Amino acid sequence: MPCIEARGLRKAFGTTIALDGIDLSIEEGHILGLIGPNGAGKTTALNAILGLTPYQGELKVLGRDPWAERDQLMRDVCFIADVAVLPRWMRVWQALDYVAGVHSRFDRAKAEGFLARTAIKRGSKIRELSKGMVTQLHLALVMAIDARLLVLDEPTLGLDLLYRKQFYDSLLNDYFDRSRTIVVTTHQVEEVQHILTDLMFINRGRIVLNCSMEEFESRYLEVMAHPEQLAAARALKPIHERQVFGRSILLFDRVDRNQLAALGDVRTPGIADLFVAVMGSQPGVAQGATV
């Protein structure tokens, strides 16, 4: 049974359509990257999945209707938002006490083990911690809960590179066990490429790309064309072309690797490059659109 399944999922705020009839199916044990520009509908989709907003259409999360059965659903779901919501007046040990008191599946010893690898002191108030430390604390609390679904909405926003790497390393090595499902949105797409099993692009409330990472790696190729082979490369109808240091890099969908190898240096594109290519082909999106 899919962890998340939607049919005709729709959400409007007045005349603004945030979700425009989305169909999706996310299998248990997968890590999905939900990527899209600002205002594309990512957070609205997550809020629907978490039972935080009503919607039209059909939506099942772990077999439940998230709007009607949110209390039961939250026993199996954890969520980290782009802004840590831990009370700033609370001390670290009090945060541990609180979660232990409200969540039956919280393993305090496991949380303590995660925190032991950080510089976070149990007696510190949350307002005394750096943003990176607050995120580490939040992650330690969440990873110590035996949840089946983890939803991450820009979880490393504003963190430096070191903290971001530590976050995703901990997520992959200490939390994910192929029975849990993770949905993550992020603007730092290259940093999550190595952990994803599935990729989804959303734009203006619609899914414009949905594939596994295996399909992504076999389907899309980039070639830095030799100048004398540029015309031949363009004749193969790339979906996008960009310039880097005076060289043309062309991105192809379902073109034979051996055929491209004769034209230049071939590699698998980054998610960000594919995102720009796909978004650039969408109506109303500028060619320079960013994630």
Helix axes 131-143, 92-102, angle to 10 degrees: 30
Instruction: Give the chain's count of helices (H) and strands (E).
Output: 11, 13
**By the 8 A CB rule, do 141 and 111 touch?**
yes
User: What are the φ/ψ torsions at residue 289 (nearest 5 degrees)?
Assistant: -55, 140
Counted residue by residue, the chain has a size of: 291
Average pLDDT, the chain: 90
Distance of CA 125 to the CA centre of its chain: 30
Tell me what pLDDT residue 98 has.
Answer: 93
Q: Which residues of 80-105 are buried (b: 16+ CB within 10 A; e: fewer)?
A: bbeebebeeeebbeebbeebeeebee
**By the 8 A CB rule, do 88 and 127 touch?**
yes
CATH class of 4-204: alpha beta
pTM of model > 0.85? yes
Domain coordinates of the chain in residue numbers?
Answer: 4-204, 215-280
Residue 29 tokens, joined: 């044990």
35: left (phi over 0), alpha (psi -120 to 50) or beta: beta
Sign of CA dihedral 222, 226, 227, 233: negative
Residue 291 tokens, joined: 């994630």
**Side-chain half-sphere exposure of 74, counting CA atoms within 13 A:** 13
Q: Which residues of 5-33 are buried (b: 16+ CB within 10 A; e: fewer)?
A: bbeebbbeeeeebbbbebebebeeebbbb
Cα–Cα distance for residue pair 45/61, rounded to 1 Å: 12
Tell me what pLDDT residue 84 has.
Answer: 59
pLDDT digits (tens, 9 = 90+) for 99-138: 999 888 899 999 999 899 889 999 999 999 988 888 889 8
Tell me what pLDDT residue 287 has.
Answer: 39
Residue 269 tokens, joined: 């594109």
Residue 240 tokens, joined: 């996008």
Cα–Cα distance for residue pair 106/99, rounded to 1 Å: 7
pLDDT digits (tens, 9 = 90+) for 180-226: 999 999 888 888 898 999 999 999 999 999 999 999 999 999 999 99
In terms of DSSP H, where are the helices of 35-177?
42-49, 70-73, 92-102, 108-116, 131-143, 161-170
Residues 6+ apart with CB under 8 A from 122: 91, 92, 93, 96, 115
Residue 104 tokens, joined: 């039956």
Tell me what pLDDT residue 283 has.
Answer: 54
Cα–Cα distance for residue pair 15/237, rounded to 1 Å: 38
pLDDT tens track, the chain, 291 positions: 799 999 999 999 999 999 999 999 999 999 999 999 988 999 999 999 999 999 999 999 999 999 999 999 988 998 887 655 788 899 999 999 999 998 888 999 999 998 998 899 999 999 999 888 888 898 889 889 889 999 998 888 777 888 888 888 888 887 888 789 999 998 888 888 989 999 999 999 999 999 999 999 999 999 999 999 999 999 999 999 999 988 999 999 999 999 999 999 999 999 999 999 998 876 544 433 444
Tell me what pLDDT residue 291 has.
Answer: 44
